[in-house]
Homo-oligomer: A and B are copies of this chain.
Amino acid sequence: MNLSKKTDYALRALFTLVEHQGGAPIPIRELARRNEIPRRFLEQIMLQMRAKRWVKSVAGKRGGYLLAKRPEEITMGEVVRFFDGYLAPIACVSARRYERCSQETVCRFRRVLLEARNLIARLMEEATLARVMRGAPVAPSEIFTLQGRDGDGI
């Protein structure tokens, strides 16, 4: 999984909308300013998210965008999958872009990549906007005991 700018921007905008739930619509201009996103580019992104029914728009003066679902109903995994197309690190272990590989039966490391994909998928699918916003762990704690490792740095 590799986050594109588009997905990054989409998530930023979404979280801003979550923060302002119940309030007035937020115009793209404002979403762009607060998250340092090129306005015209964000426009496209918002349109796609509207088609997905994650957000709804109000046209005209005083218009803007609102969240269209509850923050519990949108996961980071969905967002990444929608914009980037997949979560897996390579096609042969992907649910979305799977394509048979002639080497599959011989491949020594496919198994490891599959494990990686499963971890990520699990993590991202647990990560609803609500949970992430709350700052709560997004997956069962036993995973996260692994975090701090020797000299990893950041």
Which residues of A pack against B, CB within 8 Å? Answer: 1-3, 8, 11-12, 15, 35-36, 76, 89-90, 93-95, 98, 102-103, 107-109, 111-116, 118-125, 127, 132-133, 135, 138-140, 142-144, 146-149, 152-154
Q: Is the CB of B116 within 8 A of A120?
A: yes
Q: Is the CB of B146 within 8 A of A90?
A: no
Q: Is the CB of B89 within 8 A of A3?
A: yes
Query: Which of B118, B123, B139, B147 contacts A152, CB < 8 Å?
Result: B118
What separation, in Å, do the CA atoms of A120 and B12 have in the docked complex? 23
What separation, in Å, do the CA atoms of A127 and B109 have in the docked complex? 9
A36 to chain B: which residues have CB within 8 Å?
102-103
